Structure 1
Amino acid sequence: MPLSSRLLSAVSPWRSAPAWRIALSGGLDSTVLLHLLATLARCERLPPLSAIHVHHGLQVAADAWPAHCQALCAGLGVPLQVLHVKVDGGASLERAAREARYAALAGCLGEDELLLTAQHRDDQAETLLFRLLRGAGVRGLAGMPTSRPLGRGTLLRPLLDCSRAELEDYARAQGLSWVEDPSNADTRLSRNFLRQRIMPALRERWPQSDASLARAAAHLREAQELLDELAGQDLLAARTESPWPWLNLPSLELAPLTRLSHARQRNAVRTWLAGHTRMPDSDHWAGWEALRDAAVDAQPVWRLGDGELQRADGRVWWLSGDWLRVPEAPVPWPDPSSPLKLPGNGLLSLEGVPPSGALEVRYRQGGEVLQLPGRGRRDLKRLLNEAGLPAFLRGRLPLLFRDDELLAVANLPLLGASGAEAFRLHWRGPTNDQGLS
């Protein structure tokens, strides 16, 4: 079947998308994808096409690529947007560049728009082998999915069933020109080493190795789908409502998880964490066991790439972003009739009769006491213990002071003011960063 027919079949489910955006590097693969789609658009009714070129600025040769892409798009009548991104160096420049590129592409997508990228079957085979050598699990060995959510739209890889040889044959038959990235020849980079040294040797011994590896990735993807279904069933019992729904933090009840086998625990927690953080390696999962098995009165923490899990009152809680930083205090509140934005700690509002005097918000330091009707002066630490509040929350729960007098504690009605100055404090905590999507 011709490439154009296979491509049309792959993109058909998204023909109602408001726009198709093509990630155009200027290399062989994306050039072929752009040409195929622009040609199809002349005889098929497709959403509006446009291309996006991301310029990393990592090498001198790349400075000429935007102009090349502009000429290519102009010849095909496709609008082009050029994005300049800054890549933060680190342990892996490849990874940093990829993350910067996808972040920029995601930012360009409107609601329900489609981003098309040109990865092919050879790329899928390399990905599987690369991840296998890194000791990846089933999810990693499932390779690149054909589609996944990205930003406000969807990322689609419609050429995953096509070989690079097919794309090159098409490009030469159509007289297309493309740029060659000099860094692709650098075998010090792991993927280039696989592409230049290992894959040719495999193909020489097993001519169908690319197709076989891609097929193995498809089998593993199906296995991962089954594991995801099992995790969904196991998490259903653990996703109970917390005693503090206003806390609005991701959490799970621990008891239903501990009744599962260790493998099912890891599968369920891994699936739950996938929306919040990068996955820990196998050795790092000892942190989960320590969190799970700690004494009842302990306050265990499992630190991960993008946040941490804490255990409190029979639940595990995901904390990230501002939740891991000490909020600024004190914060004056000159007009309690208006909500107060707390630096690094959400929003505070007051319901009822505002108290008189100079007010400010502080956080617990120790030794605070609160006057309660019928109970006299009570130690705040004991009151918070009685309320059963999670330990990680006690140091950032807003406290309203007038001079050195503690008037009320946010979100705990029994610790609000009464009498002539009856009011309640309502606190909406900081947004918990969701990590990687």
Structure 2
Amino acid sequence: MSDFRLKVRAYCEKHDMVSKGDKVLIGVSGGPDSLALLHFFNERMHGLKVEAVHMDHGLRESSAEDAAYVKAYCQLHQIPFHFLQADVKGRMEQTGEGVQEAARKVRYAYFEKLMTETGAAVIMIGQHADDQVETILFRLMRGTSIRGAAGIQPVRSFGEGKMVRPFLSVTKSEIEQYCEREGLEPRRDPTNESDAYTRNRLRRHVIPLLKKENPLLHEAFERFSEELGEDNAWLEQEAEKALRDVCITKTSDRFHLSIGKLRTYGLPLQRRVIHLILNYLYAKVPTSLSSAHTRAILDLLKQAHPSGDLHLPESLTVTRSYEDGYFHFQRETHSSGYTYSIDKEQLVKLPDGHLLDVRAGKVVPDKPYLDLYYVSESFMPLTVRNRREGDKIRLPDGKGSKKIKDVFIEKKVPLKQRDDHPIVTAADGKVLWIPGLRKAPSDGKSAAYTLIYY
């Protein structure tokens, strides 16, 4: 068995890429890499059900000839052949995407559709070890996260199965030698010889120089990619745990987190928590969102000033209010006001999401509560409402009073919660209680009612 076959087989086993009996779709452009991939898994790896997939992106004059070549090869070797004539330019006009992004999305959508239709468990792509080196260098040059710096992953979930890249274990030179040894005559893309593209310049000029310094460059990059990928996978698991810890509430378009809890985690996890929140809120993360936005969010959440806003793409706003951070798609408006009159036992659902349970006599709550207050008959009927200009509450020592506004500031109540926070007043309008925050002095009379704040 050749060294090439041993490398590819060992790599497949190491990453559990395929199992005997799997139906495998292989993306075939007709070039050396993909043709060698198709030949290898159809002729040299037994026990698999191999089918070829070719897509004409309509971007090159020779694309029709490529499609005809791949189809003829598949017919000759009795390999099921799938073909799509794609309209990449049309997608670019509709979405504003670049040519590479539009082509990849059209291609991957077709792969996923075919996997469902054929019942295939695996889709194979012919990227090789030199592609890995090129990708890592390209991403590092442009600025990337740890996930991006890890490069191309050998296996990832895709559709109802997985996408695998068995040739990441071999170099471009080894693939060319395989094609020559097996008598394969692949198609050649002339654009690969142009220095108009950054990736081509890396491939044609930079990587050869690096290989002169280290002939085993691809092995060094493979180890780097695998170790970084493992580190990143662990960090993302920890970030998921941290996200659950810092989350106070969340809806489909709003996320409320505890800044104090977020600060207990190291900066790498803080960054990933922010990424997870953004991925959760955005249906599709905007391409304009960058690492600079993540840094700006973290700066806002740790700044000395207790409040502030940051506006992100597509109207997402990050708001800091003391130790609370809010991610929301539109600036929340103040409550228009509310008033409830209480003169008997009842359960009131408050606009701030809490409950006020009013019970006759002095009782002990039957479940955990946030606060409670006893009132005498002389205070009835009570009014529960949101704050009003000039509201004050008497101090416990009887020496004057304090503005409700100052109580909120003292207790660090977030700005967005102040207009909905309940205020309980007596029949004469005097403030008796700010649930969870402060109580006015009692008049010493027996309790006619117990007010429980959940």
TM-score (norm 1): 0.65
Q: Which amino acid aligns with 1:97?
A: A
Q: For 1:157-168, what aligned pairs fall within 5 Å after superposition?
A: 157-168=165-176
- State the alpha-carbon separation in 1 of the partners of residues 333 and 239 from structure 2: 41
Moved more, 111-120 or 190-199: 111-120
2:153 aligned partner: 145
Contact 1:251 1:315 in 2 (8 A): no
- The alignment status of 1:15 with 2:25, answered yes or no, reads no
- State the alpha-carbon separation in 1 of the partners of residues 68 and 342 from structure 2: 78
1:55 aligned partner: 56
Which residue, 278, 292, 301 being the options, matches 1:283? Answer: 292
In structure 2, relative to structure 1, the CA distance for the partners of 1:316 and 1:249 (3 Å cut) is farther
In structure 2, relative to structure 1, the CA distance for the partners of 1:135 and 1:372 (3 Å cut) is same
1:345 aligned partner: none
Contact 1:22 1:117 in 2 (8 A): yes
- The alignment status of 1:234 with 2:242, answered yes or no, reads yes
Q: Which amino acid aligns with 2:216?
A: Q
Contact 1:287 1:302 in 2 (8 A): no
1:124 aligned partner: 132
2:370 aligned partner: none
In structure 2, relative to structure 1, the CA distance for the partners of 1:64 and 1:260 (3 Å cut) is same
- State the alpha-carbon separation in 1 of the partners of residues 171 and 234 from structure 2: 28
- State the alpha-carbon separation in 2 of the partners of residues 205 and 227 from structure 1: 33
- State the alpha-carbon separation in 1 of the partners of residues 65 and 205 from structure 2: 29
- State the alpha-carbon separation in 2 of the partners of residues 190 and 257 from structure 1: 39
- The alignment status of 1:190 with 2:195, answered yes or no, reads no
Q: How many residues align?
A: 337
1:199 shift after superposition? 1.5
In structure 2, relative to structure 1, the CA distance for the partners of 1:254 and 1:107 (3 Å cut) is farther
Query: Structure 2: which 5+ residue stretches go unaligned?
Result: 344-349, 354-385, 387-412, 417-454
- State the alpha-carbon separation in 2 of the partners of residues 315 and 102 from structure 1: 40
1:105 aligned partner: 111
1:81 shift after superposition? 0.9
Contact 1:17 1:113 in 2 (8 A): no
- State the alpha-carbon separation in 1 of the partners of residues 33 and 342 from structure 2: 76
1:29 aligned partner: 33
1:290 shift after superposition? 5.8
Secondary structure in 2 aligned to 1:15? coil
In structure 2, relative to structure 1, the CA distance for the partners of 1:11 and 1:211 (3 Å cut) is closer
- State the alpha-carbon separation in 2 of the partners of residues 58 and 318 from structure 1: 41
- State the alpha-carbon separation in 1 of the partners of residues 216 and 197 from structure 2: 25
- The alignment status of 1:45 with 2:47, answered yes or no, reads yes
2:78 aligned partner: 77
1:205 shift after superposition? 3.4
1:357-406 alpha-carbon deviations (Å, 9 max, x no partner): xxxxxxx999989999999xxxxxx96896x9x98xxxxxxxxxxxxxxx
Contact 1:56 1:97 in 2 (8 A): yes
Contact 1:254 1:315 in 2 (8 A): yes
2:255 aligned partner: 251
1:296-331 alpha-carbon deviations (Å, 9 max, x no partner): 776x35424x78354599876767xxx78xxxxxxx
Secondary structure in 1 aligned to 2:272? helix
Q: Which amino acid aligns with 2:290?
A: D
Q: Which amino acid aligns with 2:70?
A: C
- State the alpha-carbon separation in 2 of the partners of residues 187 and 211 from structure 1: 26
1:163 shift after superposition? 1.1
2:265 aligned partner: 260
Higher Rg: 2
1:10 shift after superposition? 4.0
- State the alpha-carbon separation in 1 of the partners of residues 337 and 278 from structure 2: 39
Q: Which amino acid aligns with 1:180?
A: R
In structure 2, relative to structure 1, the CA distance for the partners of 1:28 and 1:278 (3 Å cut) is farther
TM-score (norm 2): 0.63
- State the alpha-carbon separation in 2 of the partners of residues 257 and 367 from structure 1: 29
Question: Percent same amino acid among aligned pairs?
Answer: 24
1:220 shift after superposition? 2.1
- State the alpha-carbon separation in 2 of the partners of residues 311 and 116 from structure 1: 44
- State the alpha-carbon separation in 1 of the partners of residues 275 and 43 from structure 2: 43
Contact 2:11 2:169 in 1 (8 A): no
Moved more, 279-288 or 59-68: 279-288
1:23 shift after superposition? 0.9
Secondary structure in 1 aligned to 2:58? coil
Secondary structure in 2 aligned to 1:60? coil
1:79 shift after superposition? 0.9
Contact 2:8 2:169 in 1 (8 A): no
2:224 aligned partner: 216
In structure 2, relative to structure 1, the CA distance for the partners of 1:185 and 1:307 (3 Å cut) is farther
Q: Which amino acid aligns with 1:68?
A: Y
Contact 1:30 1:117 in 2 (8 A): yes
Query: Structure 1: which 5+ residue stretches go unaligned?
Result: 325-363, 376-381, 392-437
In structure 2, relative to structure 1, the CA distance for the partners of 1:238 and 1:203 (3 Å cut) is same
Q: Which amino acid aligns with 2:30?
A: G
Q: Which amino acid aligns with 1:260?
A: Y
Secondary structure in 2 aligned to 1:284? helix
